């Protein structure tokens, strides 16, 4: 049997997203969720997650692009394109990123009463240059002893797989830090997922039921598939709101469960991360 993680990102971003994720957790359709603690809704949302602390992985979705910072070190976040450019040129102040990471980690711990099971990044910011170095240092300082794992966005064999779903999007993620971060995780013997999938063009969410089996096929034992489910929302700032509904409906469907059974895939917490 293949064991993988199905992780819903963006918990806490708005109530429609959080409610959808809670519903999926209640129905055993997910094995993890990643939390945006910078949201004003985070304290309330954390209460709803408490029943699942021993049933699913609950992680920190480190955020540097949306909403407001949690620390006084940063006055504001960056749009994603600016952050990519600044990080690639090493124009980001490392100490401010360190302060913000500590602040978001503290907010998670305050509301959940425990350290996160894992850390990843909203829009994959955790793997960008400078930011990844900060994360790795904080990992040694605060996280290793708690057996926290880090999300790796690189999947073996994906770089030259031109038939892969959303190949160009995958390529950009890997070139913006995915490959380099994978090497660091291996060098430092930090637990991480073996494969990564779930990337697609959100405009094609109406075909999600056809895309998801491809994600399953791309996943090895210990792999992770990210998803972004949500209920219908009037949040004008959420540019993928419609895609979230399509994902949510599919994850609640019988077809989803059937695909897992057909492939003998297990999605609970017992996963084979690397290194073990």
Q: Where does the pLDDT of residue 109 fall: very low under 50, low under 70, confident under 90, or very high at 90 and above?
A: very high
Q: Where does the pLDDT of residue 264 fall: very low under 50, low under 70, confident under 90, or very high at 90 and above?
A: very high
Query: CA–CA separation, 261 vs 267, rounded Å?
Result: 11
Say if residue 244's pLDDT is above 60. Answer: yes
Q: Which two tokens stand for residue 31?
A: 């094995």
How far does the chain reach from its first CA to its final CA, in angstroms?
17
Instruction: Identify the burial level of 236 via C-beta atoms within 10 angstroms of its C-beta, where 0-12 means exposed, 13-18 middle and 19 or more buried.
Output: exposed
CATH no., domain 2-266: 3.20.20.370
- Could you tell me which residues are beta bridge partners of residue 256? none
Residues 50-92: pLDDT tens digits?
A: 999 989 999 999 999 999 999 999 999 999 999 999 999 999 9
- Could you tell me which residues are beta bridge partners of residue 6? 225
For residues 176-182, give the mean pLDDT. 93
Instruction: Return the pLDDT at 155.
Output: 80
Q: Is 219 in contact with 175 (CB distance < 8 Å)?
A: no
Instruction: Return the pLDDT at 164.
Output: 67
Listed in sequence order, the residues at least 6 apart from 57 whose beta carbon sits closer than 8 Å to its beta carbon are: 5, 7, 31, 32, 33, 117, 118, 269
pTM listed for this prediction: 0.95
Instruction: Return the pLDDT at 175.
Output: 87
For residues 238-261, give the mean pLDDT. 97
Say if residue 172's pLDDT is above 60. Answer: yes
Say if residue 240's pLDDT is above 80. Answer: yes
Residues 14-43: pLDDT tens digits?
A: 999 999 999 999 999 999 999 999 999 999
Say if residue 149's pLDDT is above 70. Answer: yes
């Amino acid at each position: 049997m293949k064991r993988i993680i199905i992780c819903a990102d963006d918990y806490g971003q708005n109530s429609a997203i959080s409610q959808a994720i809670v519903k999926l957790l209640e129905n055993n359709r997910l094995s993890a969720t990643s939390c945006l603690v910078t949201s004003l809704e985070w304290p309330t949302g954390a209460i709803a997650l408490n029943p699942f602390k021993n049933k699913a992985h609950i992680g920190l979705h480190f955020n540097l692009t949306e909403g407001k910072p949690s620390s006084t070190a940063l006055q504001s976040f960056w749009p994603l394109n600016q952050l990519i450019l600044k990080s690639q040129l090493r124009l980001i102040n490392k100490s401010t990123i360190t302060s913000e990471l500590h602040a978001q980690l503290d907010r998670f711990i305050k509301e959940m009463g425990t350290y996160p099971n894992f850390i990843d990044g909203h829009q994959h910011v955790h793997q960008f240059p400078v930011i990844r170095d900060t994360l790795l240092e904080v990992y040694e300082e605060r996280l290793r002893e708690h057996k926290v794992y880090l999300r790796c966005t690189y999947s073996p064999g994906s770089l030259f797989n031109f038939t892969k779903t959303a190949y160009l999007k995958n390529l950009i993620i890997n070139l913006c830090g995915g490959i380099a971060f994978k090497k660091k995780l291996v060098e430092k013997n930090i637990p991480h997922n073996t494969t990564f999938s779930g990337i697609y063009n959100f405009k094609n969410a109406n075909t999600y039921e056809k895309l998801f089996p491809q994600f399953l096929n791309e996943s090895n034992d210990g792999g992770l598939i990210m998803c972004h489910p949500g209920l219908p929302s009037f949040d004008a700032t959420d540019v993928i709101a419609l895609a979230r509904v399509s994902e949510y409906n599919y994850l609640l469907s019988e077809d989803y469960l059937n695909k897992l059974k057909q492939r003998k895939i297990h999605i609970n917490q017992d996963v084979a991360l690397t290194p073990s």
